[in-house]
Amino acid sequence: MDRYEKKMFNLAYRVVDDREDAMDATQTAFVKAYENLQTFDPSRKFFSWMYRILLNESLNILKRRKRFDDLYEHATVESDNPEETYAAAETGQRIHKALMELKTDYRAVVVLRHYHDMSYKEIGEVVGISEKTIKSRLFSARRQLKDILMRKGIVR
């Protein structure tokens, strides 16, 4: 748990956009992993197996909740200038809100790729689809995210 807890919570939070739900998903994923440890295939990465369980739990929470709250994980900036700090936090909040507008399937690949630096292969193992589909989904997600950010005047 010590090894994966923070990374798993971060993934869950970026998918469900709620700290309590993210904690629930993380805890449930660890319990399910423990209960189903005999189903783990040692020829695969344990990390990917755990992420798959967590992603499924996070998606289940979204299905049950069927709504999104506007929560924001504050961006930090190393600056003595309060205006720069505020501007960076504001931009981070806008990007987070734009990310939450993506379909869950698109959001998941963006989060895994850009927030967790996972390879296409690792994402494919977690999500359960081919690398080619991951690349295609990521391309579409980035395009949609750019359109959202342009529509909101965040990027040109």
The per-residue DSSP string of 20-69 comes to HHHHHHHHHHHHHHHHTGGG--TTS-HHHHHHHHHHHHHHHHHHHH----
Q: pLDDT for 23-56, tens place per residue?
A: 999 999 999 999 999 999 888 888 888 988 998 8
Q: What residue spans define the domains of the chain? A: 1-71, 82-156
130: which DSSP letter? -
Among 19-23, 98-102, 111-115, 134-138, the least confident range: 111-115
| Structure-token pair, residue 70 | 């506007």
What is the topology classification, in CATH, of domain 82-156? Answer: Arc Repressor Mutant, subunit A (1.10.10)
Task: Please identify, in words, the CATH class of the domain defined by 1-71.
Answer: mainly alpha
pLDDT confidence band for 130 (50 / 70 / 90): very high
pLDDT score recorded for residue 29: 93
Please name the helix (run of DSSP H) or strand (run of DSSP E) that holds residue 95, with its range, or none.
helix 82-101
Which residue carries 């929560």 as its tokens?
71
pLDDT digits (tens, 9 = 90+) for 57-101: 888 888 776 533 333 333 344 556 667 666 666 777 788 888 889
How confident is the model at residue 156, as a pLDDT? 74
| pLDDT value of position 38 | 93
pLDDT (0 to 100) of residue 83:
73
**How much is the pTM?**
0.56
Q: Is the pLDDT higher at 11 or at 75?
A: 11
pLDDT of residue 65: 67
- Reference 8, options 50, 36, 44, 63; nearest CA is 50
